[in-house]
Structure formats: structure tokens, C-alpha cells
Amino acid sequence: MSNNMQVVQGYSVPGQQQQQQQQQQYSAPMVEDYATDFNGYKGQPQPKKFNDVFFAFLFFVHLAAMACALPMALSAQQNGGGNGGDIGSIIYFVCVCGVFATGLTTVSLGFMMQFSNQLVKTALIFQVFTSLACAILGLMSGNIMMAIMGGLSFLISICYAFAVWSRIPFAAANLNTALTAVRANLGLSLIAYVFLFAGLAYSICWTAVSNAVLNTYPGMAFLLFLSYFWTHQVLSNTMHVTSAGVIGTWWFAPAEASSFCSRSIGDSFGRATTYSFGSICFGSLIVAVIQALRQMNHHLRSQEDAQIIVCLIDCILGCIEGIIEYFNRWAYIYVGLYGYSYLDAGRNVITLFQNKGWTTIISDNLAENVLFMISVVIGLITGLVGYLVASLDQNIFADFGFDSPGGIGFLFGALIGLVLASILMSVVSSAVGTVIVLFAESPREFEMNHPQLSMEMRHAWALAWPEECGRM
């Protein structure tokens, strides 16, 4: 049993002596003393209850409707022919690339911990040169719009790099803390891969249903797009909430979350799929509606007279989508940590940052740049493995009519590597956000349970924002 107090929807209760010592130092509530009010500076564990139930019910109704339509769609496609190729060879190819990408991604966690500061700098420079490459590619291909946008992005990236260069140590310390927590609970990756396979399975089913339905009812396109985006948003956000709960337990009670399949993983996953599932469906539906509208808007691009309007609408919807996704990221952390409903979680966590004066700090995405860069590198290396496998066995893609098996192997291998790396990096991304929230509201608990990491983050914080040190 842990000697440390757990305040994150927890189950462990500290010993009497330890409890008395911590009550003298901290004002955090005990596990049984649920508090429903937010004091503006610290979240409180909420009573176990099902939040936003209506949206969870609506989500399951929509899944039931898709399940009912699937047999009809499959029967409608039975008369269609097709060349399936050598499925065994394809499975072999996917397994080789998948195992390599998974192992490389796991090893990269330790590499990122060792060189977090250098990687943040490299990712920032990588972003600048990527924009420059897009501008040059646009000029060489004669695409003036691409060249202009790439040039503007290049200039903005340079200005951004100069503006945030002093914040690199804190971003590196934040990333290192998040990676330490994830490595202590690598079982989160298993749940992430389960969600990946669930998403792939639903995509296959959705494709079959949409092909059958749209042939008869073309007006159902919006609802089908809504179903697709909503389901994938729910899967992604459930993983986000689960990760937040595990990282929170590691923060307050490391003994409860310091093994591959620690108890905290099961507990956090259970809460995310039961009590908090309605809140996840609520926020996911809002984003899915915007994404479905953007997808419908793309269909208007075929009308040349409406190009300006289409671009304007797409820009507006993109901005709205970005704002909602930004809100969701922080809201779901409070959902995972304390069990708030969706709206309460979002309002409370934003209030926390406003009271702390951290509204600018949470807008930095330096750590996110590192995760994206590492995912791309892993994808490219896995693509090389795919190239070798396809070149050694040219029968793998022979039935698909490709002239260059090695080139197709590289593309498929890179895609597999990028997807698998992005899944585990999304877990790290959730951990990065959770660390920022917890560092804002519970720095003393962090110092007590993880003194070395706390010292690194405090030192980096003082270098990046010396004027904010008094707010800690």
C-alpha cells in the first residue's frame, strides 16, 4: 500500500501517521471527502456518478443504427468481384513493419528522455525548414498559392522560433516528466493499440455501410460523415482521459502507477468508459459536427463559381474546430483527473490557468513539435524496412498491379510506422498536457513524490518565466 496520498479519483488511503503529516502541509482532500466546488486553483475529486448520460445514450443509439445497416451493406456488396491479392503476404508485410515500428517507438521514449532539450530545439528548426521546403516545392512545381503559403509559414515559423527559444528548457523538462510517467505505465500503449484496431474495424464497416446507403439515399452523407468523425473522436478522447487519470495517479501516488499494467491503468480506463463516457461523447460530438460540415463543404469545390465562398467557409470552420479541440484537450484532463462533467471540466481548468496567469504558457506547442518530428522519423525508417521486405519478396504486391514493389513497400511501411508511432506519441501528448495542469495546481505534491523531476521543472520554469515564479 502506498504511503502517499492519492487525490485523483483514487482508491488508496494513506496510513494515519502519513495522513497527519500531509494534512499539516497540504490542503488536498482525502479520498472519501469528495468536494463538488472548484476553488479556482485546484480541482477536487467528484462523486462517482454518470455524467452527460444523454450523449452516451445517443452515441450507442448511433452505433446500433450502424450495426443494423451493416448486414444490408454486406449483402449488397456480395455480388461485386475484386482481386484480393495474396492476403497472407500482406499480413506478413504489415506484421514485420508493425513490430519494427512498435519496438522503435518504445526505444525512442528513452532517447527522448536523454536528449529532450536538444530535440525541442531540433523540432523547432525542423518546423522552420519544413515550411521553407514547401515554399521551394511550390515554386518548382509552379503552384504559386503553395509557394506563397509556404513562404508566409516560413516567416511566421522564424518569428515563432525567436519568440519561444527561451522557453525550450521548460518544454524539455515538461516532456521529460511526461515521458518518465508514460514509461512507468507502458501498459497505456496496449490500450492505445486496442483503440487503433477498433478504429480500423469501424472504418471498414463504415465504408461498407456508406457505399450502400449513399447509392440509395445520397442525402444521408452528412449523417454518415458525422458518424465516422464522432466515433473516431470518442476513441481518441477516451484514450486521452485514460492517460490523464493514470498520469494523475503517478503524480500523487507513484506506487500505484509504476508498473507496466498498474492498477491505475485499469481504474482510469474503467472510469473513462463508464462514469466519464458521456462527457467524452459530448465534447467529441461538437468536434465531429464541425468536421462533418467541413467534409460536406469540400464537396462544393467542384462548383467553380463558389470557390471563394468554399474557402471562406472552410477557413471559418477550421478556426472553430481548432478552438474547440484546444478547449477539449484541457477539459478532458480534468475529466480524467477528477471526474467533472464536460462543461464543468472545461470551465474549471481554464479558470485555473487564468488565475495562475498561464494562458500564454499553455499555448506553447514545443513538446508537440518533438512528438510529431519523432513520429515522422519513425515512419521514414519503417518505410525503409518496408522497402527491403517488398524488394526481397516482390510477390507481396504483385497482384495489385504495382510496377515498383519496393516503392509501394516504402509508402505502406512509412504509413504503418507513422500511424503506430503517432498512437504512442498521442499518449505522451496527453501526459504532457496533464503534467502542465498538475504542475500549475499541485507543485508541492510533485516535489514530495518526484523531487528530481520537480527540481528540473522548477529550475526550467524560473529561466523561462522569471516574472511568474511568485505564482507557483
Q: Write the DSSP assignment of 91-120 as a string of letters.
A: HHHHHHHHHHHHHHHHHHHHHHHHTHHHHH
Query: Does residue 33 register a pLDDT over 60?
Result: no
**What would the pLDDT profile of 46-75 be if each residue is shown by its tens digit?**
888 999 999 999 999 999 998 888 887 767
pTM of the predicted protein model: 0.80
Are 382 and 101 in contact, with CB atoms under 8 Å apart?
Answer: yes
pLDDT averaged over every residue in the chain: 81
Helix, strand, coil tally for the chain in percent (to 5)? 80, 0, 20
Looking at residue 6, what is its pLDDT?
A: 43
Q: What is the mean pLDDT of residues 277-302?
A: 85
End-to-end CA distance of the chain: 30
Looking at residue 448, what is its pLDDT?
A: 93
269 or 422, which is more confident = 269
At residue 401 the predicted structure's pLDDT band, cuts being 50, 70 and 90, is low
Looking at residue 31, what is its pLDDT?
A: 34
Query: Does residue 23 register a pLDDT over 50?
Result: no
Among 58-67, 138-147, 298-307, 415-424, name the one with the lowest average pLDDT: 298-307
Looking at residue 291, what is its pLDDT?
A: 86
Among 25-39, 103-117, 304-318, 445-459, name the one with the lowest average pLDDT: 25-39
CA distance 267 to 31: 15
Looking at residue 274, what is its pLDDT?
A: 95
**What would the pLDDT profile of 74-92 be if each residue is shown by its tens digit?**
676 555 444 444 566 777 8
Q: What is the mean pLDDT of residues 245-267?
A: 91
Alpha-helical regions (H) of 26-115: 53-77, 87-114
Q: What is the mean pLDDT of residues 450-460?
A: 92
Looking at residue 266, what is its pLDDT?
A: 92
Looking at residue 63, what is its pLDDT?
A: 93
Question: Residue written as cell 502506498?
Answer: 2
Q: What is the mean pLDDT of residues 11-30?
A: 39
Give Rg (Cα) of the chain.
Answer: 24
**What would the pLDDT profile of 371-396 be if each residue is shown by its tens digit?**
888 989 999 999 999 899 888 877 77
Q: Write the DSSP assignment of 174-239 as a string of letters.
A: HHHHHHHHHHTTTHHHHHHHHHHHHHHHHHHHHHHHHHHHHHH-GGGHHHHHHHHHHHHHHHHHHH
